[in-house]
């Protein structure tokens, strides 16, 4: 690979609003990092993963986003303990043909959440959504000893529906509410999880993993009730830097 540009990239299904390419290419420009480029690779299905690698032999690392964080795992030869525990991969390192999977979402979310919540904060959390994005959130809350309840469109042994959450008045008793769904993301900016936002007050913290738009409908509805709100941009920046560390060791 000597003399060739090393390629990094992001795989997902719809990437038109991704921040990753602009973030990394700006990082390269700002810090004067040469020999790398970052590209977006939209895959219609995970079956296109190996053909992508064959077509781009200069790839040394990939980020993974919706809906492939779990689907890509069987394609990898090695998975870090943390990614295995979480059950999702969002970073792939390609070295001498070997594919290794990691999870930097955990690091990004944990650092962002703990720097935002008041020191010594105690309470319970609602996690909205049970897809791949929720897995790192679940593990962070477990490790931080924050009790939580999953809320999903469909009921299950470990989750309640939005209707059941309303019947149980869970919004009132859970002061941290984390949206791990894509609701509110560009271009569907007027959508939001189906909560009773009238039950939200000044003691609530609403964290949205969505970062585009900067203020989502979920955040706006909570802020209108006096809640403190945060989007997912800082988490993304932190996980991106962790990805760079995994790929390059620096």
Residues recognised as catalytic: 69
Residue 70 contacts residue 87 (beta carbons within 8 Å): yes
Task: Give the span between the Cα atoms of 182 and 239, in whole angstroms.
Answer: 18
Residue 139 contacts by C-beta under 8 Å, 6 or more apart in sequence? 85, 86, 106
Query: How open is the CA angle 181-94-3, to the nearest 5 degrees?
Result: 125
Task: Give the span between the Cα atoms of 212 and 235, in whole angstroms.
Answer: 13
DSSP-derived pairing of the beta strands 59-64 and 91-95 = antiparallel
Residue 232 contacts by C-beta under 8 Å, 6 or more apart in sequence? 112, 207, 208, 209, 210, 211
- DSSP secondary structure string for all residues of 96-124: TTEEEEE--HHHHHHHHHHHHSPTT----
DSSP 8-state symbol, 156: B
CA distances from 68 to 34, 72, 127 (A): 29, 6, 20
């Amino acid at each position: 690979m000597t003399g060739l540009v090393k390629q990094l990239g992001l795989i997902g299904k719809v990437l038109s609003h991704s921040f990753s390419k602009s973030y990394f290419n700006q990082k390269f420009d700002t810090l004067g990092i040469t020999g790398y480029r970052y590209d977006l690779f939209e895959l219609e299905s995970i079956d296109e993963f190996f053909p992508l690698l064959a077509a781009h032999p200069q790839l040394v690392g990939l980020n993974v986003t919706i809906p492939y964080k779990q689907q890509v795992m069987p394609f990898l030869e090695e998975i870090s303990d943390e990614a295995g525990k979480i059950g999702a991969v969002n970073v792939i390192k390609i070295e001498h043909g070997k594919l290794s999977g990691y999870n930097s979402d955990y690091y990004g979310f944990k650092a962002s959440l703990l720097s935002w919540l008041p020191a010594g904060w105690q309470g319970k959390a609602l996690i909205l959504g049970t897809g791949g994005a929720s897995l790192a959130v679940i593990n962070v809350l477990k490790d931080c000893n924050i009790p939580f309840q999953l809320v999903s469109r469909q009921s299950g042994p470990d989750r309640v529906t939005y209707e059941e959450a309303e019947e149980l008045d869970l919004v009132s008793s859970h002061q941290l509410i984390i949206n791990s769904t894509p609701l509110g993301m560009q271009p569907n900016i007027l959508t939001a999880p189906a909560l009773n936002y009238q039950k939200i007050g000044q003691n609530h913290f609403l964290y949205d993993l969505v970062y585009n738009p900067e203020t989502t409908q979920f955040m706006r509805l909570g802020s209108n009730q006096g809640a403190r709100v945060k989007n997912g941009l800082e988490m993304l920046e932190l996980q991106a830097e962790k990805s760079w560390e995994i790929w390059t060791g620096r």
